[in-house]
């Protein structure tokens, strides 16, 4: 058991005792290409996050504007149509000639 502990300690001791794989891995992770790729990925994530936030805000504004302005207009137009149909139905029951509703 003690030999295992020593073996692990020797693998993690400084640069002179590190393996080839760890040195290659470290040199690749410290390379200019990897740093630039990480920076580009970070910038892309930041831009995407900002875009999603602003898109969400725009969707919220459009949705609430629709609810406040357009839905009441649709309801009022439907009431008007029902009222005109009711007038035409009453006029036909009373025997007066039905007139076309003004547009």
Q: What was the pLDDT predicted at 65? A: 94
pTM listed for this prediction: 0.43
Distance CA 85, CA 87 (A): 5
- Is the separation of the CB atoms in 98 and 92 below 8 Å? yes
Tokens 């007139």, residue located: 99
Rounded to 5°, the CA angle 5-25-17 comes to 40
Q: Is the dihedral of CA 29, 31, 35, 37 positive or negative?
A: negative
Q: What was the pLDDT predicted at 48? A: 94
Per-residue confidence band for 95, with pLDDT thresholds at 50, 70 and 90: confident
Give pLDDT tens digits for 71-80: 999 999 999 9
Give pLDDT tens digits for 35-63: 899 899 999 999 999 999 999 999 999 99
Q: Spell out the residues 6+ positions from residue 84 whose beta carbon is closer than 8 angstroms to its own.
A: 101
Is 23 or 9 the better-scoring residue by pLDDT? 23
């Amino acid at each position: 058991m003690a030999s295992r502990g020593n073996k692990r300690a020797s693998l993690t001791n400084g640069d002179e005792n590190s393996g080839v794989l760890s040195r290659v891995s470290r040199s690749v992770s410290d390379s200019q290409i990897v740093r630039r790729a990480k920076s580009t990925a970070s910038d892309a994530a930041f831009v995407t996050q900002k875009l999603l936030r602003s898109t969400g805000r725009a969707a919220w504004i459009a949705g609430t504007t629709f609810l406040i302005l357009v839905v009441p207009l649709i309801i009022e137009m439907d009431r008007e149509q029902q009222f005109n149909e009711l007038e035409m139905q009453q006029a036909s029951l009373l025997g007066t000639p039905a007139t076309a509703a003004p547009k």
